């Protein structure tokens, strides 16, 4: 019993001495010293790597930055918009739905709204949005009946009718509250096509028979 206690005490003393020696030689972490610190583990302070645009003998041509191999194809093509501008960068209205450098949404769809774009939007809306929002956009999709989907927005609500195109684009991209993000599934041009089609749905909902020609009104009756 006595022996084991004295062994424990000597172990503790040796440990304390070792600790004191380590701190004495290596210093406290973060402490100031004139001499360079002893480095037990280099962590990531120094690493074998190429610095861009520097001479380096790793590659045969002696340069650290290499050109893409011939025939490389860009992953995304710049998009051309209504005003003919080409946006190649991430932070541009066509990619974010926002005015560059701000958090303000763009008012108007930057893609030219053509019959082809609307047809594409119709197609994509029916696939990606109608399960919840319904094919009419009134919030009565199939998930309401069988999926217990909580309060789906009615896209004909005045709040959404007066919303900017950019904000609807942003909602498709990132989702909103209980609605998930569709950015990962729906490419940028298709998102704008859907926005244009949502506008078509809203317009048709807001229309009155007074806007029809006399012939059309007669045909209705
Ligand atoms: C899985 C169901 C589901 C799908 C699919 C879906 N939405 Fe939604 N959406 C919702 C729900 C739920 C809300 C209400 C979110 C809230 O505010 O709680 C909503 C809200 C919205 C709003 C209103 C956002 C706001 O600011 O209040 C818009 C606009 C919208 N969705 C557009 C779309 C479009 C366009 C698509 C197709 C790309 C789509 N949604 C697909 C469930 C869905």
Instruction: Indicate whether 106 pLDDT > 70.
Output: yes
Write the residue with the smallest CA distance to atom 39 of ligand 1: 129
Pair 203, 127 in one domain: yes
Q: Is the CB of 133 under 6 A from ligand 1?
A: yes
Q: Is the CB of 129 under 6 A from ligand 1?
A: yes
Instruction: Indicate whether 8 pLDDT > 90.
Output: no
Pair 191, 108 in one domain: yes
Instruction: List the single range of 26-30, 38-42, 204-208 with lowest mean pLDDT.
Output: 26-30
Residue 70 in domain: no
Average predicted confidence (pLDDT) for the chain: 88
Q: What are phi and psi of 143, to 5 degrees?
A: -65, -20
- CATH number of the CATH domain containing 150: 1.10.760.10
Q: Sorting pLDDT into bands at 50, 70 and 90, what band is 83? A: low
Most informative mutation of 179, 186, 195 for ligand 1 (most atoms within 8 A of CB): 179
Pair 123, 18 in one domain: no
Spatial separation of the C-alpha atoms in residues 173 and 82, rounded to whole Å:
21
Pair 139, 203 in one domain: yes
What share of the chain has pLDDT > 90, as a percent? 51
Q: Is the CB of 99 under 6 A from ligand 1?
A: no
Instruction: Indicate whether 90 pLDDT > 90.
Output: no
Residue 65 in domain: no
Write the residue with the smallest CA distance to atom 38 of ligand 1: 129
Domain of residue 102: give its range: 85-209
Instruction: Indicate whether 105 pLDDT > 70.
Output: yes
Instruction: Indicate whether 46 pLDDT > 90.
Output: no
Residue 90 in domain: yes
Number of CB atoms found within 10 A of residue 126's CB:
13
pLDDT of residue 104: 96
Write the residue with the smallest CA distance to atom 1 of ligand 1: 132
pLDDT of residue 27: 65
Residue 62 in domain: no
Q: How many CA atoms lie within 13 A of 146 on its CB side?
A: 2
- Residue 18 belongs to what H/E stretch? helix 2-26
Residue 51 in domain: no
pTM across the whole model: 0.69
Question: Which residue would you say has higher pLDDT here, 116 or 21?
Answer: 116
Instruction: Indicate whether 37 pLDDT > 70.
Output: yes
Total structural domains within the chain: 2
Q: What are phi and psi of 63, to 5 degrees?
A: -125, 140
pLDDT of residue 77: 67
């Amino acid at each position: 019993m006595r022996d084991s206690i004295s062994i424990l005490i000597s172990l503790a003393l040796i440990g304390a001495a070792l600790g004191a020696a380590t701190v004495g030689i290596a210093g406290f972490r973060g402490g100031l010293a004139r001499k360079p610190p002893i480095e037990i583990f280099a962590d990531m302070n120094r690493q074998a790597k190429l610095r861009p645009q520097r001479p380096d003998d790793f590659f045969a041509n002696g340069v650290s930055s290499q050109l893409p191999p011939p025939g490389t194809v860009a992953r995304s093509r710049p998009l051309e918009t209504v005003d003919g501008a080409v946006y190649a960068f991430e932070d541009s209205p066509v990619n974010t739905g926002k005015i560059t450098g701000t958090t303000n949404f763009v008012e108007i769809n930057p893609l030219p709204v053509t019959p082809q774009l609307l047809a594409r939007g119709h197609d994509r809306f029916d696939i990606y949005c109608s399960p919840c929002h319904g094919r009419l956009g009134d919030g009565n999709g199939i998930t309401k009946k069988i999926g217990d989907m909580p309060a789906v927005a009615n896209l004909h609500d005045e709040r959404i009718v007066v919303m900017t195109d950019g904000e609807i684009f942003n909602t498709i991209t990132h989702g909103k509250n209980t609605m998930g993000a569709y950015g990962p599934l729906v490419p940028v041009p298709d998102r704008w096509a859907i926005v244009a089609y949502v506008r078509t749905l809203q317009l048709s909902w807001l229309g009155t028979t007074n806007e029809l020609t006399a012939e059309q009104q007669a045909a209705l009756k």
